[in-house]
């Protein structure tokens, strides 16, 4: 792989041991990926703080980050925080629940402390999986980025037309560089498979199921989607999440909607290979796969994967206004929307009904749930992952309305419509 | 009867090295994060044909990754001594690269035949990533 003189000198250790190790990571990654050179990021980085356990021997320890922050080192490019991991952190709403150790004040104080060196280096504490909705700073078409998180990757590539692999981390933020590989190169961004939806996508759940069905069918291919209508922001977030969870769709085109596909021809640019048609029956199959409960006595309802936006919080607040919930209900959101929801009185309405709104995290990240045996959720992603750590958990899946109704009655209310 | 039937697949090196061992084959993509347990070296995904089967020391053969960046836990399993001996997969991305870099085991992709069709669980497999060759002795 070609390196500039400056990159070579970083690799030689002329800029300190930590920069050397970060450059060694990029060089090894680039060599393995077959990259010809490194790219200087002109977009931004999205990473999970505090850094942990992602890259083995290449990891930069927390103590080293503290050291760098102290001597005034900065991230090279605008850097945003996805959800905190290892450990997870409940930013808002933690006082209202009991979930050790996350609700222990001392534990929380330490977690807040751990964010400080990253912020000193320039990390913006959005602390959300849909940071791209609330960061107030997103890349423009063609800008090179390094992001993380399944829903964010297709959002960056397809919706914004920026260029990113799944490599947002301390190293890429600190050096502001990534290998010229995969989604950074024109030839890997063209559609190869045409996916046509033959019925009509109507509800938010339809988009969630559609994304999953397409993901399972195309894996790592780049699809061009037709027949998907005009999704709302909530629907588009759901579709992106499922595309990159049910499969590994990092990039897709919707002719006339996404920036790199003004037309169907432009989406393919001569790379067309095959066509898939799917309809409501295919969505039904995914719906059935997501419903793996036999006990209908719901004791935990989880909403907010990816983090609910303000319209979704408003929707739930209206559904529970004046009601009393029989089941525990968690809504997770980003800290920015939490504040707005609080100002609007929505948190109060939800809490009065017996629900909780938490920001900055989700059950999967915490690796912990409130005591429960039967869960209901409106998110295919969390539905499919949660069973990995709670093998005996019964999980229902349905629309937001079905889930909220189930929380009110304490009995599963969903059915395929 | 040819009992020592050998098949050779040619592919591209992802991570260098040469190793041999028994194959563990999945026709279903592998999913990371909560659906793999790095400490125990097993898949925990409820629908997965390999659920609960240890991949420690196996030549892990699969179509590709899906889902979260937590796919790297397949490499993280090295930290607990539970890692696969090699990765052989049809198509990957930087997540499969990171998993191989973390486990520091040979990895090969883009083979001339579908490895999940040619290789069966239990076959003896030599992975020579430097030469880009996978040699299979049928069980």
pLDDT digits (tens, 9 = 90+) for A284-330: 999 999 999 999 999 999 999 999 999 999 999 999 999 999 999 99
What is the nearest CA distance from A230 to chain B, expressed in angstroms? 25
Contact B68 A385 (CB under 8 A): yes
Tell me what pLDDT residue A75 has.
98
- State the helix-helix crossing angle for A335-343 and A310-320, rounded to 10 degrees: 50
Residue B68 is among the residues annotated as catalytic for this protein: yes
pLDDT of A189 strictly over 50 = yes
Tell me what pLDDT residue B139 has.
87
Contact B44 A391 (CB under 8 A): yes
Q: Tokens 């320039």 map to which residue?
A: A122
Q: How far is CA A301 from CA A8, A61, B69, in A?
A: 53, 36, 26
Interatomic CA distance for residues A93 and A44, integer angstroms:
29
Predicted confidence band of residue B1 (pLDDT cuts 50, 70, 90):
very low
- H or E element at residue A416: none
Contact (CB, 8 A) for B33 and B23? no
Tell me what pLDDT residue A17 has.
95
pLDDT of A53 strictly over 70 = no
Q: Which of B26, B54, B68, B77 is catalytic?
A: B68
- Give the other-Cβ count within 10 Å of A203's Cβ: 15
Tell me what pLDDT residue A51 has.
65
Q: Which one of A56, A166, A389 has the shortest CB-CB distance to B93?
A: A166
Predicted confidence band of residue A233 (pLDDT cuts 50, 70, 90):
very high
Secondary structure of residue A218 in the 3-state scheme: helix
Predicted confidence band of residue A98 (pLDDT cuts 50, 70, 90):
very high
Contact A289 B63 (CB under 8 A): no
pLDDT of A343 strictly over 50 = yes
C-alpha closest to that of A84 among A64, A63, A105, A62: A62
A-B Cβ pairs (cutoff 8 Å, strict): 101
Contact list, B72 vs chain A (CB under 8 Å): 54-55
Contact A29 B98 (CB under 8 A): yes
What is the nearest CA distance from B109 to chain A, expressed in angstroms? 11
pLDDT of A122 strictly over 60 = yes
**pLDDT tens digits for A207-219?**
999 999 999 999 9
Tell me what pLDDT residue B39 has.
97
Average pLDDT over residues A115-121: 97
Structure-block tokens of residue A283:
């969505």
Residues 57-116 of B with CB under 8 A from A: 63-69, 72, 75-76, 78-79, 91-95, 97-98, 100-102
Secondary structure of residue B15 in the 3-state scheme: strand
pLDDT of B118 strictly over 60 = yes
Average pLDDT over residues B57-78: 96
C-alpha closest to that of B126 among B31, B8, B46: B8
Burial of A239 (0-12, 13-18, 19+ CB in 10 A): buried
Tell me what pLDDT residue B2 has.
52
Tell me what pLDDT residue A57 has.
85
Contact A220 B101 (CB under 8 A): no
DSSP state at residue A336? H
Contact list, A385 vs chain B (CB under 8 Å): 33-35, 67-68
Predicted confidence band of residue A417 (pLDDT cuts 50, 70, 90):
confident
Tell me what pLDDT residue B3 has.
56
Q: Any residues with CB less than 8 A from the CB of A140 and at least 6 apart, and which? A: A43, A160, A161, A162
C-alpha closest to that of A4 among A21, A25, A27: A27
Q: Which one of B72, B93, B101 has the shortest CB-CB distance to A220?
A: B93
Contact list, B51 vs chain A (CB under 8 Å): none
Interatomic CA distance for residues A40 and A180, integer angstroms:
9
- H or E element at residue A1: none
Pairing relationship of beta strands B107-109 and B12-15 according to DSSP bridges: antiparallel
Tell me what pLDDT residue B82 has.
98
* Structure ipTM: 0.96
Average pLDDT, chain A: 96
Q: Which one of B66, B69, B72 has the shortest CB-CB distance to A219?
A: B66
Contact list, A292 vs chain B (CB under 8 Å): 46
The DSSP-derived string for A94-161 is GGGS--TTTT-HHHHHHHHHHHHHHHHTTEE---STTHHHHSS--PPTT-EEE--STTHHHIIIIIS-
Average pLDDT over residues B70-99: 96
Q: Say what percent of chain B tops pLDDT 90.
A: 94
Q: Tokens 């050998």 map to which residue?
A: B6
Interatomic CA distance for residues B55 and A367, integer angstroms:
23
Task: Name the closest residue on chain A to residue B14, using Cα atoms.
Answer: A32
What is the nearest CA distance from A263 to chain B, expressed in angstroms? 27
pLDDT of A52 strictly over 80 = no
Contact (CB, 8 A) for A251 and A271? no
Interatomic CA distance for residues B112 and B114, integer angstroms:
7
Q: Say what percent of chain A tops pLDDT 70.
A: 99
Contact B97 A33 (CB under 8 A): yes
Tell me the backbone φ, ψ of residue A277, rounded to 5 degrees: -115, 140
């Amino acid at each position: 792989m070609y390196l500039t003189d400056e990159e070579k000198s970083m690799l030689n250790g002329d800029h300190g041991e930590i920069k050397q190790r970060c450059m060694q990571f990029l060089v090894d990654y680039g060599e393995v990926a077959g990259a010809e050179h490194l790219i200087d990021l002109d977009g931004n980085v999205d990473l999970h703080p505090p850094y942990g356990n992602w890259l083995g021997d290449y990891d930069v320890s927390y103590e080293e980050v503290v050291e760098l922050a102290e001597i005034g080192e900065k991230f090279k490019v605008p850097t945003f925080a996805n959800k905190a991991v290892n450990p997870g952190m409940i930013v808002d709403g933690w006082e209202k629940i009991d979930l050790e150790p996350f609700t222990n004040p001392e534990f929380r104080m330490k977690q807040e402390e751990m964010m400080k060196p990253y912020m000193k280096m320039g990390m913006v504490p959005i602390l959300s999986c849909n940071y791209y909705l609330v960061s107030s700073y997103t890349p423009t078409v063609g800008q090179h980025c390094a992001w993380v998180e399944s829903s964010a990757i297709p959002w960056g590539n397809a919706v914004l037309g920026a260029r990113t692999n799944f490599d947002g981390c301390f190293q890429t933020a600190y050096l502001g560089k990534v290998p010229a590989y995969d989604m950074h190169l024109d030839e890997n961004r063209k559609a190869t498979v045409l996916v046509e939806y033959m019925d009509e996508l109507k509800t938010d759940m339809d988009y969630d199921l559609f994304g999953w069905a397409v993901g399972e069918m195309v894996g790592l291919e780049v699809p061009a989607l037709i027949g998907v209508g005009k999704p709302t922001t909530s629907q588009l977030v759901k579709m992106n999440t499922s595309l990159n969870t049910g499969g590994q769709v990092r990039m897709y085109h919707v002719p006339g909607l996404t920036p790199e596909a003004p037309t169907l021809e432009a989406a393919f640019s001569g790379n067309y290979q095959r066509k898939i048609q799917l309809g409501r029956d295919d969505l039904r199959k995914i719906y059935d796969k997501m419903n793996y409960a036999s006990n209908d006595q719901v004791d935990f309802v989880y909403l907010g994967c990816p983090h609910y936006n303000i319209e979704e919080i408003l929707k739930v607040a209206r559904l529970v206004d004046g009601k009393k919930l029989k089941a525990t209900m968690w809504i997770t959101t980003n800290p920015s929307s939490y504040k707005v929801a609080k100002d609007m009185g929505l948190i109060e309405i939800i809490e009065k009904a017996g629900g909780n709104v938490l920001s900055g995290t989700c059950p999967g990240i915490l690796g912990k749930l409130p005591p429960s045996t039967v869960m209901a959720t409106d998110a295919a992603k969390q539905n499919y992952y949660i069973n990995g750590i709670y093998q005996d958990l019964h999980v229902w899946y349905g629309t937001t309305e079905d889930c909220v109704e189930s929380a009110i009655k304490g009995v599963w209310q969903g059915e395929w419509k | 009867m040819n009992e020592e039937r050998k098949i050779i697949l040619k592919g591209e090196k992802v991570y260098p090295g040469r190793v041999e061992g028994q194959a563990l084959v999945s026709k279903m993509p592998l999913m990371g994060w909560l659906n793999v347990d790095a400490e125990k070296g097993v898949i925990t995904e409820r629908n997965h044909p390999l659920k609960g089967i240890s991949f420690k020391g196996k030549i892990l053969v699969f179509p590709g990754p899906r889902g979260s960046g937590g796919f790297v836990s397949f490499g993280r399993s090295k930290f607990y001594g539970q890692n696969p001996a090699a990765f052989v997969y049809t198509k990957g991305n930087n997540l499969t690269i990171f998993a191989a870099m973390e486990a520091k085991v040979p990895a090969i992709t883009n083979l001339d035949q579908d490895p999940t069709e040619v290789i069966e669980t239990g076959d003896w497999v030599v992975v020579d990533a430097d030469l880009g060759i996978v040699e299979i002795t049928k069980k």
